[in-house]
């Protein structure tokens, strides 16, 4: 933390010395004067304003020293009059508000010569009485954006919030449009961690403070939608409510915070607008691509075979073996050559992403309507990988009367993919088959004709375990069709001038149809749905159908009143939430009767069917009460009570309270500093709860069909489910600071948060003597989450037609043991109060006190008996993002960097390459001597035991060690050594990396040229995604995903973007 404070001081100091603002002090800041003299000059400017006000008052003075102040407030950009602007005499409680024409009037008695102007969505101003006749307000920028969308879709003044939020405009999300908007979010929001996978059609994993946030669209919480279902061009703004305090009114579903999306609606002025956007990105190389040795063939013991491993003979030295000929389709004696040095590259195909949308918007006297269509096409990097996603949406608003307005929306998403197996460590994985377990002794392009006998036997040199990758790509396929519908309607009724009633109901439906066909002749038996009968080379067909929907209805009454310096606002409401899910999985048994015919009717044995259904209902009452003093000090309390159908009657009711407060100290200073725009402190606390899943605590029989000669069975669960189970509880609190300086040219936000997770529901193993294996309980173990969120931003350059905006986010989220359960907590060395929960230990090899590997008398490493050696932690110490925007005339350049610091994960790729003999580092003199000349020359690095012994306690800690060591000098087989020593701590790699995530360069076409093509606006740009990667240790794959299991290559994309508005 001290390092972060030190870096922040440097950051502020440098920017204070170099920021060129519109203030008269700019030139001095760039030369010799320090920050102290700059601040002094700002104070002098304030004195000058006060003096000017004293000398040139134009207000009318009465005999009682009364002054009548009249004026008008307008938008600086549009000149439009602004209503409901608060005008306050600085240093007093006297205030007024502007009317619909932006006009105001004040009668002031006694001293005072300054007015404080505040309006939601605009920057505050302090002006002398003399300048009150015509006041212009500038819209707020990203530093202290005034209006944000909070829980339940309610817009509020950001300065009133006691918890952390961060927003981002839709225009920044649409600069680079890939498949998932979540990828663009990476590094842009502090506390939001995005883990982007390289696998086809896989959605990025998003965590907010370590938990999964909910998705709220235009105030409606949709249960079955994710970010992928919302076209980027439909997003007007996204606001992230961080932590459970921000989303307390959503109950348990909001425990992980919320991503609030406001979609685009009508136009500012009456009329019609048509927008067209097209973004196409093309494959442009790899950021991470696996590498293997290509000098030695498949086989074992230095001899070629097509049975297993890649510890075979040296290729390209004239040795001959019987090998498979894919054209004659039989084995023939021929020279062993490295024909497939680039097998994997030859199998890969260039990826492609096309994201296109068109929207139609009409704004009229009584309302607006916006209709849009979006289509995304994604070509994957493996054969037969295609994704098509289409979205149609319509949103309309209308004003039924002066007191009633109505908003409705409907959306439809359809996605179809020819997804197939081919990822991960499994029999049908492409890397598994091409790089890990087979050598370079064949050219994969010769096997595109993959049938030896159509639909029954594959053309491949292996007859066990491994399969022809082209067969997997085109025959073992899992086509998938997803349909989603979402709809919402919102009715607002203005009951009084201070109160409003809202009725809102949302609905979303999903339907997924998925089949899997496994042709006869596939050798691998471990991949896919092996648990439902296996493949066994006889073929299999599965049909999966998943259906479900959810509905959420809210009734909310909101009110707001002001009495001088005091303002009160609040809400009362209730909601009804219902969710239902159904799934059916049917599969053939014992193979396919007719080769190539994929149907349940083609099953040799009776069809096996598994069905599941779940329902959930939650009713809730909630409220919020907020108090404000002088529009600077705010206190807020919320409460929500839920009734859940997943709990017994005695415990199904539970309450969520929260309290938050904030104070904008810069608004309370009698003589404000012109260089200080905002100085706000905030704090919040909430108690959230989480209930078990439907039926998790209810005993129910499981029905299995075709168990005994076609007969079905009913099985009682092996877990005791306790009806006294209570909800898991989260107690969260946070403290924060928001700063803005120099007309918002420099800003900073900091949040420190804690979350105590207790009364957790866990399944723990019990004695089989009870008749059960597990028991569902509330544990006494407590987990404490600690985190930091830091945002630093600035406008370092703002001169003439050039601007540079920059923002840096740092985040940390770590879990610690706060209390242990004496019965159910793990009895382990590193499970102690105050220690991190994400520890990684290794029990790979027995080691000397200095860490060297201990070998036995045969020269082989000795396996360790205990997992006591702490080697690191899985969670990153920090994850960060840095965005930069440069604007010069009609050009706009945007760059986004992000990365992680520390955190470890296991590289299964590295381990398996050593095990099989494919690792590039295994091509060395030791292997050459052993294979070509028959000489074993390898001596394992480490020591051997000369005498003595060692004893350990139950945790693996050394109790007594009398061992005497000497350097290991036993020569062993290089192959045998690494087939034994491939696993262990050497495969845990540091995930530290830096990535240039996105780049866009856009040119806005002059209006005169746009008119020639009948357009109002037009822009053309060059875009890029996943452009550059530096990783500290990861070698074969992209550490972005946070896990490694033979991950697919990481592709670079470069494209073009065209936007037209008519």
d(CA 777, CA 821): 12
Q: Work out the angle between the directed axes of helices 908-916 and 974-981 (0-180°, nearest 10).
A: 150
> Given a cut of 70, is residue 7 above it in pLDDT?
no
Residue 78 and residue 222 share a domain: no
Cβ–Cβ under 8 Å, residues 230 and 181: yes
Residues 204 and 107 in one domain: no
Same domain, 168 and 219: yes
Average confidence (pLDDT) over 485-493: 95
> Is the predicted pLDDT of residue 23 greater than 50, yes or no?
no
CA dihedral 527, 528, 531, 533 (to 10 degrees): -90
Could you tell me if residue 17 is inside a domain? yes
Q: Which of 756-770, 857-871, 872-886 reaches the highest mean pLDDT?
A: 872-886
**Three-class HEC string of 118-146:** ECCCECCEEEEHHHCCEEEECECCCCCCC
> Which pTM does this prediction carry?
0.84
Residue 304 confidence (pLDDT): 96
205 with 328, same domain: the answer is no
Quote the pLDDT of residue 757.
Answer: 93
Q: In sequence order, what are the residues at sequence separation of 6 or more whose Cβ sits closer than 8 angstroms to the Cβ of residue 496?
A: none
The b-or-e profile of 778-802 (16+ CB within 10 A means b, else e) is: bbebbbbbebbbbbbbbbbbbeeee
Instruction: Check whether residue 196 and residue 254 sit in a common domain.
Output: yes
pLDDT in the model for residue 112? 63
Share of the chain above pLDDT 70, in %: 90
With 90 as the cut, is the pLDDT of residue 646 above it? no
CB 738 within 8 A of CB 749: yes
Tell me what the mean pLDDT of segment 933-937 comes to. 96
Closest-CA residue to 962 (of 953, 949, 951, 946): 949
Q: Report how far residue 745's alpha carbon sits from residue 755's, in angstroms, rounded to the nearest whole number.
A: 33
Residues 146-184: tens digit of each pLDDT: 788 888 888 888 888 999 999 999 999 999 999 999 999
DSSP assignment of 697-755:
TS---EEEEEEETTEEEEE--SEEE-TT---EEEEEEEEEEEEEETTTTEEEEEEEEEE
Domain C-terminal end among 135, 162, 190: 135
Label residue 534 by pLDDT band (50, 70, 90): very low
Q: Is 310 found in the same domain as 455?
A: yes
Q: Write the pLDDT tens digit of every residue in 812-841.
A: 999 999 999 998 898 888 999 999 999 999
Q: How far lies 343's CA from each of 441, 457, 879, in Å? A: 10, 22, 36
Share the mean pLDDT of the chain.
Answer: 87
Is the pLDDT at 26 greater than 70, yes or no?
no
Does the pLDDT at position 52 exceed 60? no
Strand order in the sheet with 854-855: 854-855, 943-947, 964-967
Considering 11-15, 711-715, 749-753, the range whose residues carry the highest mean pLDDT is: 749-753
pLDDT over 90 (residue 78): no
Integer Cα distance of 927 and 911 in angstroms: 18
Cβ atoms of residues 589 and 607 within 8 Å: yes
Looking at residue 255, which CATH number applies to its domain? 2.170.130.10
The total number of structural domains that make up the chain = 4
Strands 386-399 and 404-417: antiparallel
**pLDDT value of residue 111:** 54
Q: 582 lies in a domain?
A: no
Q: Are both 323 and 445 inside the same structural domain?
A: yes
Would residue 849 count as lying in a domain? no
Same domain as 436, residue 314 = yes
Where among 135, 165, 193 does a domain terminate?
135
Using one digit for the tens of pLDDT, what is the confidence trace for 124-138? Answer: 788 888 888 899 988
Least confident of 5-19, 443-457, 1034-1048: 5-19
Instruction: Please report whether residue 239 resides in a domain.
Output: yes
User: Can you name the residues that pair with 1036 across neighbouring β-strands?
Assistant: none
Residue 87 has pLDDT above 60, yes or no: yes
- pLDDT tens profile 210-241: 999 999 999 999 999 999 999 999 999 999 99
**Local structure of 857: helix, strand or coil:** coil
**What pLDDT score does 140 carry?**
64
Cβ atoms of residues 202 and 192 within 8 Å: no
Q: Residue 10 pLDDT > 50, yes or no?
A: no
Q: State how far the Cα of 488 lies from the Cα of 1053, in Å rounded to an integer.
A: 36
**Which of the listed residues 135, 162, 195 is the one where a domain comes to its end?**
135
448 and 318 share a domain?
yes
Provide the residue range defining the domain that includes 174.
147-266
- State whether 229 and 323 are in the same domain: no
pLDDT of the residue at 294 = 97
pLDDT over threshold 70, residue 49: no
Say yes or no to pLDDT of 928 above 60. Answer: yes
**CB-based contact 760:731 (threshold 8 Å):** no
Q: With contact defined as beta carbons under 8 Å apart, do 287 and 1050 qualify?
A: yes
- Is there a single domain that holds both residue 45 and residue 180? no
**Orientation angle between helical segments 2-18 and 35-55, nearest 10 degrees:** 60
Region 909-916 average pLDDT: 96
Rg (CA), the chain: 33
Contact 391, 297 (CB under 8 A): no
pLDDT at 774: 83
Around Cβ 1002, how many Cβ atoms within 10 Å? 18
Same domain, yes or no: 229 and 325:
no
Confidence band for 894, pLDDT divided at 50, 70 and 90? very high
**pLDDT number for residue 918:** 97
In a domain, 312, yes or no: yes
Q: What is the mean pLDDT of residues 256-264?
A: 93
For residue 365, is it within any domain? Answer: no
Residues in the chain: 1062
pLDDT at site 65: 60
Question: pLDDT per residue over 354-386, tens digit each?
Answer: 999 999 999 988 889 999 999 999 999 999 999
State residue 17's pLDDT score. 36
Q: What gap in Å lies between CA 236 and CA 295, rounded to an integer? A: 56
The pLDDT of residue 12 is above 70: no
DSSP string, 198-260: -STTPPPEEEETTBPPEEEETTEE-SS--GGGS-GGGEEEEEEE-HHHHTGGGGGGGTT-EEE
What is the average per-residue pLDDT within 464-478? 90
d(CA 169, CA 166): 10
Q: Residue 125 sits in a domain of what CATH number?
A: 2.60.40.4130
Residue 165 lies in a domain: yes
Q: What is the pLDDT of residues 378-401, one digit of tens each?
A: 999 999 999 999 999 999 999 999
Q: Are 584 and 609 in contact (CB under 8 A)?
A: yes
206-230 per-residue burial string, b: 16 or more CB within 10 A, e: under 16: bbbbbbebbbbbbbbbbbbbebbbb
The pLDDT tens digits for 761-775 are: 888 888 888 878 888
Q: Write the Ramachandran bin of 1011: left for phi over 0, alpha for psi from -120 to 50, otherwise beta.
A: alpha
Please tell me what DSSP assigns to residue 9.
Answer: H
The reply to whether 130 falls in a domain is yes
281-314 as b/e, with b when 16 or more CB fall inside 10 Å?
bebbebbbbbebbbbbbbbbebebbbebbbbbbb
Tens digit of each residue's pLDDT (9 = 90 or more) over 940-955? 999 999 999 998 888 8
Of residues 712 and 330, more confidence is placed in: 330
């Amino acid at each position: 933390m001290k390092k972060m404070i030190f870096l922040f001081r440097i950051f502020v100091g440098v920017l204070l010395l170099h920021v060129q603002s519109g203030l008269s002090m700019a030139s001095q800041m760039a030369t010799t004067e320090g920050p102290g003299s700059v601040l002094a000059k700002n104070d002098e400017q304030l004195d000058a304003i006060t003096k000017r006000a004293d000398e040139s008052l134009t207000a009318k003075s009465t005999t009682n020293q009364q002054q009548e102040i009249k004026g008008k407030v307008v938008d600086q950009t549009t000149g439009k009059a602004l209503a409901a602007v608060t005008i306050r005499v600085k240093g007093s409680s006297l205030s007024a508000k502007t009317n619909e024409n932006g006009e105001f009037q004040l009668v002031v008695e006694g001293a005072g010569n300054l007015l404080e102007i505040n309006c939601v969505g605009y920057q505050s101003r302090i002006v002398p009485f003399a300048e009150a006749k015509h006041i212009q307000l500038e819209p707020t920028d990203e530093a202290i954006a005034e209006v944000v969308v909070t829980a339940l879709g309610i817009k509020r003044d950001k300065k009133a919030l006691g918890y952390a939020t961060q927003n981002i405009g839709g225009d920044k999300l649409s600069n680079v449009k890939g498949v998932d908007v979540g990828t663009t979010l990476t590094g842009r929001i502090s506390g939001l961690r995005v883990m982007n996978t390289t696998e086809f059609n896989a959605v990025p994993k998003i965590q907010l403070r370590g938990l999964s946030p909910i998705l709220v669209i235009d105030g409606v919480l949709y249960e079955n939608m994710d970010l992928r279902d919302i076209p980027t061009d439909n997003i007007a703004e996204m606001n992230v409510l961080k932590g459970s305090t921000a989303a307390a009114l959503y109950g348990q579903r909001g425990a992980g915070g919320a991503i609030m999306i406001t979609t685009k609606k009508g136009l500012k002025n009456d009329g019609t607008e048509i927008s067209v956007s097209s973004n196409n990105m093309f494959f442009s190389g790899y950021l991470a691509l696996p590498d293997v040795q290509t000098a030695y063939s498949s086989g074992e013991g230095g001899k070629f075979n097509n049975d297993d491993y890649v510890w075979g003979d040296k290729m390209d030295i004239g040795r001959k073996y019987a090998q498979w000929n894919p054209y004659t389709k039989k084995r023939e004696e021929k020279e062993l050559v490295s024909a497939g040095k680039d097998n994997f590259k030859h199998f890969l195909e260039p990826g492609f992403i096309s994201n296109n949308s068109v929207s139609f918007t009409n704004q009229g006297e009584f309302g607006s309507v916006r209709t849009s269509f979006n289509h995304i096409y994604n070509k994957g990097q493996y054969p037969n990988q295609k994704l098509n996603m289409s979205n149609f949406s319509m949103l309309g608003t209308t004003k039924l009367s002066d007191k009633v307005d109505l908003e409705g929306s409907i959306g439809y998403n359809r996605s179809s993919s020819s997804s197939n197996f081919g990822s991960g460590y499994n029999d049908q994985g492409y890397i598994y088959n091409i790089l890990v377990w087979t050598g370079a002794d064949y050219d994969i392009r010769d096997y595109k004709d993959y049938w030896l006998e159509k639909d029954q036997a594959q053309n491949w040199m292996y007859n066990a375990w491994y399969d022809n990758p082209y067969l997997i790509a085109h025959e073992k396929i899992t086509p998938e069709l997803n349909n989603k519908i979402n709809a919402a309607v919102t009715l607002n009724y203005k009951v009084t001038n201070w109160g409003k009633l809202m009725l809102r109901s949302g609905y979303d439906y999903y339907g997924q149809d998925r089949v899997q066909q496994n042709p006869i002749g596939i050798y691998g038996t471990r991949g896919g749905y092996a648990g439902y009968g296996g493949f066994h080379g006889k073929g299999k067909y599965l049909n999966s159908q998943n259906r479900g929907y959810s509905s959420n209805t809210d009734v909310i009454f909101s009110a707001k009143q002001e009495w001088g310096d005091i303002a009160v606002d609040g809400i009362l409401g209730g909601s009804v939430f219902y969710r239902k899910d159904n799934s059916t999985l049917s599969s053939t048994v014992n193979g396919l009767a007719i080769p190539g015919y994929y149907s349940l009717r083609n099953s040799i044995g009776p069809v096996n069917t598994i069905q599941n259904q779940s329902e959930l209902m939650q009713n809730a009452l909630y409220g919020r009460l907020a108090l404000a003093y002088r529009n600077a000090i705010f206190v807020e309390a919320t409460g929500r009570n839920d009734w859940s159908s997943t709990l017994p009657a005695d415990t199904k009711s539970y309450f969520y309270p929260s309290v938050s407060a904030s104070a904008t100290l810069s608004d309370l200073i009698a003589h404000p500093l012109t260089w200080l725009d905002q100085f706000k402190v905030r704090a919040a606390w909430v108690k959230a709860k989480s209930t078990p899943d439907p039926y998790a605590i209810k005993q129910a029989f499981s029905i299995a069909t075709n168990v005994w000669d076609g007969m079905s069975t009913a099985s009682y669960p092996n877990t005791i489910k306790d009806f006294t189970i209570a909800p898991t509880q989260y107690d969260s609190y946070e403290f924060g600071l928001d700063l803005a300086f120099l007309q918002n040219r420099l800003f900073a936000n900091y949040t420190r948060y804690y979350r105590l997770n207790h009364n957790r529901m866990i399944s723990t193993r019990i004695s089989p003597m009870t008749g059960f294996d597990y028991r569902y309980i509330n544990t006494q173990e407590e987990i404490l989450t600690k985190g930091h969120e830091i945002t630093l931003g600035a406008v370092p350059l703002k001169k003439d037609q050039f601007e540079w905006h920059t923002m840096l986010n740092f985040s940390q989220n770590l879990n610690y043991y706060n209390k242990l359960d004496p019965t159910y907590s793990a009895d382990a060395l590193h499970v102690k109060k105050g220690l991190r929960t994400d520890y990684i230990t290794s029990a790979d090899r027995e080691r000397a006190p200095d860490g060297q590997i201990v070998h036995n008398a045969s020269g082989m490493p000795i396996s360790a008996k205990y997992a006591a050696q702490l080697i690191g932690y899985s969670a990153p110490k920090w994850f960060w993002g840095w965005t930069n925007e440069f604007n010069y005339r009609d050009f706009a350049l945007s760059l986004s960097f992000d990365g992680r610091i520390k955190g470890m994960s296991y590289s299964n790729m590295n381990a398996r390459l050593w095990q099989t003999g494919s690792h590039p580092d295994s091509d060395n003199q030791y292997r050459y001597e052993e294979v070509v000349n028959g000489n074993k020359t390898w001596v394992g690095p480490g020591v051997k035991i000369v005498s003595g012994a060692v004893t350990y306690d139950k945790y693996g800690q050394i109790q007594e060690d009398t061992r005497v060591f000497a350097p290991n000098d036993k020569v062993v087989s290089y192959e045998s050594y690494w087939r034994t020593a491939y696993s262990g701590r050497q495969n845990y790699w540091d995930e530290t990396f830096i990535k240039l995530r996105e780049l866009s360069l856009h040119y806005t076409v002059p209006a005169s040229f746009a008119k020639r093509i009948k357009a109002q606006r037009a822009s053309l740009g060059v875009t890029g995604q996943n452009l550059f990667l530096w990783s500290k240790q990861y070698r074969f794959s992209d550490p972005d995903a946070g896990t490694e299991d033979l991950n697919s290559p990481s592709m670079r994309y470069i494209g073009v973007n065209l936007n037209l508005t008519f």
